[in-house]
Structure 1
């Protein structure tokens, strides 16, 4: 697999991007290491269950999500989605390689403020061996409708 078809179609309509193949990895931190990119610049997706539906939190790979902070900012009951739920939402992606652009999958998104300052953003392409590089301003444009907040801390 390479770039997920849903993500590729979305990016092709909106931005200029580079595809970076790499040796397969099983975590976002290992992907950052394998590709020699800062973990602060690799955006990872966390899929959440909220009010009978789903949404996506986006944060740097080098950060941990604080679910309690996210719950207080959103004012909703929010829990982590199960792997089975995620697999149904992202049928064209490998398990654990979800692109952090939930809008192209019909999800509401909240982006951690810490990622907005990055000049370049790297994204999972939908498998464990493909990374996408886009300009930080283009990422901001792609996530312009997303909520913003502070809900993570650096490892």
Structure 2
């Protein structure tokens, strides 16, 4: 499948320099980090949640889990994990479980965990289970400048 076209166009439109790394097929962000020899705290994973009136993407390191209660406090409404069918509707050019953490590319509100703010470089799921996008931390911060940066994760 390769890099999701929506993500590729978005990165190109924003003039982001990126490198696509290929790796063996994995079925989790942590597995991707391991297969790619990338620190889990530098791989930004997207967790798609349902909320009153729509969806939200929580962006956290691959080595962490989303704290749903933290998101609920911020949004002041309940959230839960989106179903695979819902995710497929929002991210039609991506495989389930390989969603890029750039919600804006897909017109979905997002929150990013503060722990990703100071990383020198960041890796993103590319839309399939074999591609990883590598960008500088500075470019990642530029992409995420309009996203709320909050503490929304906890270690596994």
What TM-score range do you get, normalising by the shorter chain?
over 0.9
- C-alpha offsets along residues 68-120 of structure 1, whole Å, 9 cap, x if unaligned? 12211222222211111001111100111100001000001100001111111
How far off is 1:151 after superposition? Answer: 1.3
Q: How many residues align?
A: 155
- C-alpha offsets along residues 104-140 of structure 1, whole Å, 9 cap, x if unaligned? 0000110000111111100000000000000111111
Unpaired segments of 5 or more residues in structure 1? none
How far off is 1:154 after superposition? Answer: 1.7
Q: Report the secondary structure of 2:134's partner residue.
A: strand
Structure 1 stretches (4+) deviating beyond 3 angstroms? none
Q: Report the secondary structure of 2:71's partner residue.
A: helix
Taking structure 2 as the reference length, the TM-score comes to 0.96
Corresponding residue for 1:2?
2
Corresponding residue for 2:87?
86
Q: Report the secondary structure of 2:26's partner residue.
A: coil
Unpaired segments of 5 or more residues in structure 2? none
